[in-house]
Amino acid sequence: MMDRKKTLAAIARHVTDADIVLPVYSSAFDWLDIRPNPLNYLSHGAMGLASSHALGLALGRPDRRVIVLDGDGSLLMNLGTLVSTAEAAPKNLFHFVCENGTYEANGGHPIPGRGSVSFAGMARSAGYKSVHEFSDLKNFEQQVGAILAEQGPVFTCLKIVSSGAQERDYSRLHGPHVRKTFRDALAAS
């Protein structure tokens, strides 16, 4: 099992200023500390929709790589996005799921199917072009650059340890200023 911050830091080393990144909930807080950027798209309050937002952005901006940093609990809320993404087949979409078996942002409660659900298996069955799964950080660090160079859609399940229940200041992720910053950065390029 991997540490989320170290796993996200490995991804960050391969992200450019032109990439659109959609981090959700616990991953968003870590990502903003690791790699603040005006093209970080923060969509909170609608658990499960980041992957759908990423699909829309990937289709609308095929000139940019779109990376969604999802959670297992979030993905469970919107499994249909796997089939929709595979059907649309955007070459620029990279879907990373941090699997820790909990709804970490909502008190650390266990997700349904914890320990038996295969998110990689679901993505493969849905028709994703490329599917990966990692539980060893060194192995992931060696391969993440190649994964982000693949033609999408690409799905990668990251087996991470839970950080447990957390007290977070969600004002960092919400508000009109956050949306405006993203909108302005996207329009400028």
What is the tens place of the pLDDT at every residue in 56-110? 999 999 999 999 999 888 898 899 999 999 999 999 999 999 887 665 665 566 6
pTM: 0.88
d(CA 108, CA 110): 6
Cα 82 from Cα 155, distance rounded (Å): 9
Contact between 15 and 67 (Cβ < 8 Å): yes
In whole angstroms, give the CA distance from residue 174 to residue 188: 22
Determine if residue 93 is left, alpha or beta; phi over 0 gives left, psi from -120 to 50 gives alpha, anything else beta: beta
Quote the strand ranges of the chain, DSSP E.
20-23, 66-71, 93-99, 102-103, 109-110, 130-134, 154-159
pLDDT score of 116? 77
Residue 86: predicted pLDDT: 98
Give the domain range for residue 130.
4-187
Task: Convert the pLDDT of each residue in 28-63 to its tens digit.
Answer: 888 999 999 999 998 766 677 889 999 999 999 999
Q: How many domains does the chain have?
A: 1
Residue 176's contacts (CB-CB under 8 Å, 6 or more residues apart) are none
pLDDT (tens digit, 9 = 90+) per residue, 154-184? 999 999 887 655 565 655 666 677 678 878 8
Residue written as tokens 């603040």?
A: 36
| Domain containing residue 133: CATH number | 3.40.50.970
Phi/psi at 10 (nearest 5 deg)?
-65, -40
pLDDT: is 132 or 26 the higher one?
132
Q: How confident is the model at residue 185 (pLDDT cuts 50, 70, 90)?
A: confident
Q: What is the pLDDT of residue 81?
A: 94
Percent of the chain with pLDDT over 70: 83
